[in-house]
């Protein structure tokens, strides 16, 4: 994305930023986010349909953090998520991998995670 690593890292991890990008489509939003970015710390984001019909909390515990390079956490059901960051020429590549759950197809889950990353990219490139 067209942003330096410091900006990308801050937008990924600061609750006031997370609330602005952590949802998969425009009919959803993230009205609440908290983030204790340290090993053993927790992250929690509430994702909710804007019409009020449904919401859920996305929660995890941090396993590994290397500032500006890596974030790894475990979700409440034991699945792992890993996010890597690499800066080159004032742009940053973000790669997120996750353990799939058993209820929905892997393809559907990939689309949802990618939609959130796309929102993250748009928000990060737009915000000052």
Q: Round to whole Å and give the CA distance between 120 and 47.
A: 14
Asked if 72 and 80 count as a contact pair (C-beta separation under 8 A), the reply is yes
CATH class of 5-126: alpha beta
14-30 confidence digits (pLDDT tens): 999 999 999 999 999 99
Residues 6+ apart with CB under 8 A from 102: none
What are the boundaries of each domain within the chain?
5-126
- At 68-108, the pLDDT tens digits run 999 999 999 999 999 999 999 989 999 999 998 999 899 99
Query: How far apart, in whole angstroms, are the C-alpha atoms of residue 14 and residue 17?
Result: 5
pLDDT at 128 over 90: no
Compare 8 and 90 and report the one with higher pLDDT. 8
What CA–CA distance (Å, rounded) separates 51 from 91?
A: 36
Whether this model's pTM surpasses 0.85: yes
- At 64, the pLDDT band (50, 70, 90 cuts) reads very high
pLDDT class of 33 with cuts at 50, 70, 90: very high
């Amino acid at each position: 994305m067209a942003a330096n690593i410091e900006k990308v890292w801050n937008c990924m991890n600061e609750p006031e930023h997370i609330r602005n990008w952590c949802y998969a489509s425009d009919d959803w939003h993230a009205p609440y986010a908290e983030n204790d970015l340290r090993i053993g710390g927790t992250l929690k984001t509430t994702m909710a349909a804007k019409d009020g019909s449904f919401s859920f909390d996305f929660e995890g515990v941090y396993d590994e953090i290397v500032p500006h390079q890596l974030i790894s956490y475990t979700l409440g059901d034991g699945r792992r998520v890993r996010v890597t960051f690499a800066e080159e020429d004032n742009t940053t590549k973000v790669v997120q991998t996750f353990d799939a759950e058993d209820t929905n197809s892997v393809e559907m889950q990939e689309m949802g995670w990618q939609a959130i990353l796309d929102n993250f990219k748009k928000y990060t490139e737009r915000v000052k």
